[in-house]
Amino acid sequence: MSEAERKKVIFSGIQPTGVFTLGNYVGAIRNWGPLQDEYDCIYSIVDEHAITVRRDPVKFRQQTVEGYALLLACGIDPKKSIAFIQSHNPNHAQLSWILGCVTQFGELSRMTQFKDKAAKHADDINAGLFTYPVLMAADILTYNADVVPIGDDQRQHLELARNIAVRFNQRYGETFTVPEAYIPKVGARIKSLQDPTKKMSKSDDNPNATIFILDDKDTIMRKFKRAVTDSETEIRYAEGKDGINNLLTIYSCATGKTVQDAEKEFSGFGYGDFKAAVGEAVADWLEPVRTEYARLMDDKAYLKQCWTDGAQRAFRLSNKIYAKACRKIGFVDYR
């Protein structure tokens, strides 16, 4: 197949550390389904990344199964895409070792997410937390992915993956595709509903800060009603109006309308009515995901069959590229 005929390859992943948030959905996953027709897509529940923070094994195993079901419920079709659990394909961790040897300590020290997590988990700054971005590079490079759909907070990690690919290719000859980030123009950084200067996150201590995509309608409405805004009255996207900007962004993504159209639609409305409208739109938007998730969780045999098949396909695909990297650096072939 010529280069022009080859479909481009997409890789992305999400950690199974609890129900996905509206931030995960808007910034990343909602884009993954629609990309399936145009690209060869590989999507992973990245359980190896999740163990950089200490976890209860029983709960973690359950969360990984739930994460996989959520991935499918969000529109990933395991027939069209490869949908698998990271630890089921050993090539990620193996390639990660090789890539770690072309990554500088200084580069990893500059990763803002490492600095944030090290501050948050000061009693467990383990080596995995530090080398996490190398594993992420391996996830992407072991499939020679062309495009990586992510939210804004993963931009720095993707930049590092690109640098690692370029450096390896320069040192050992053309091996890896240098991946491009695919970051949505609207919604790449959804903010906390309680502190709209901060990113919306799964692990926020304030339960009203985060919408989880399985929240029921009442919960969603309540959280939006309590969303922090500002002391003005006007619904417009502007500097210093972080809360309103966040709500306009969310509304725009949930309805497919532009932010400008949303501003017009709510011109003259009070903040209370606006927040209720955003809540309604989000609850309607997420409803099919909840329904599909419940259906899938009722059929564990099907889920297992899907992730087993996904792992085999992922392994086969990544083997070629991993073997090439091994050859290039001078490991003795045994196959």
Q: Which residues bind ligand TYM (CB under 6 A)?
A: 11-15, 23-24, 26-28, 46, 49, 136, 139-140, 148, 150-151, 153-154, 188-190, 199-200
Q: At its nearest, how many Å lie between ligand TYM and the CB of residue 317? A: 15
Please say which residue, 250 or 281, places its beta carbon nearer to ligand TYM: 250
To the query of whether residue 191 is one of the catalytic residues in this protein, the response is: no
Shortest-Cβ-distance residue relative to ligand TYM: 27
Please say which residue, 67 or 279, places its beta carbon nearer to ligand TYM: 67
Beta bridge partners of 10: 41, 147
Selecting among 7, 59, 80, 117, the annotated active-site residue is 117
**Of residues 294, 278, 284, the one with CA closest to residue 244:** 278
Q: At its nearest, how many Å lie between ligand TYM and the CB of residue 332? A: 30
Selecting among 8, 80, 202, 217, the annotated active-site residue is 202
User: Can you read off the two tokens belonging to residue 299?
Assistant: 């059929």
**Of residues 323, 71, 169, the one with CA closest to residue 161:** 169
Q: At its nearest, how many Å lie between ligand TYM and the CB of residue 45? A: 9
Please say which residue, 202 or 272, places its beta carbon nearer to ligand TYM: 202
Please say which residue, 208 or 265, places its beta carbon nearer to ligand TYM: 208
> CB of 221 within 8 A of CB of 274?
no
Please say which residue, 229 or 249, places its beta carbon nearer to ligand TYM: 249
Give kind and range of the element (H or E) at residue 131. Answer: helix 127-141
Radius of gyration of the CA atoms of the chain, in A: 21
User: Can you read off the two tokens belonging to residue 234?
Assistant: 């006007």
What number of residues does the chain have?
335
Selecting among 199, 217, 225, 257, the annotated active-site residue is 199
> CB of 29 within 8 A of CB of 20?
yes
Rounded to the nearest 5°, which phi and psi values hold at 67?
-60, -40
- Enumerate residues 6+ apart whose C-beta is below 8 A from 262: 248, 251, 252, 255
What secondary structure, in 3-state letters, does 28-50 show? HHHHHCHHHCCCEEEEEECHHHH
> CB of 39 within 8 A of CB of 32?
no
Please say which residue, 136 or 306, places its beta carbon nearer to ligand TYM: 136
Alpha carbon of 309 to those of 15, 224, 295, 315: distances in Å?
Answer: 20, 40, 20, 10
Q: At its nearest, how many Å lie between ligand TYM and the CB of residue 46? A: 4
Q: At its nearest, how many Å lie between ligand TYM and the CB of residue 198? A: 9
To the query of whether residue 115 is one of the catalytic residues in this protein, the response is: no
The C-alpha atoms of residue 287 and residue 217 are separated, in whole angstroms, by 8
Q: At its nearest, how many Å lie between ligand TYM and the CB of residue 13? A: 4
To the query of whether residue 304 is one of the catalytic residues in this protein, the response is: no
What secondary structure, in 3-state letters, does 86-115 show? HHHCCHHHHHHHHHHCCCCHHHHHCCHHHH
Catalytic site residues? Answer: 117, 199, 202
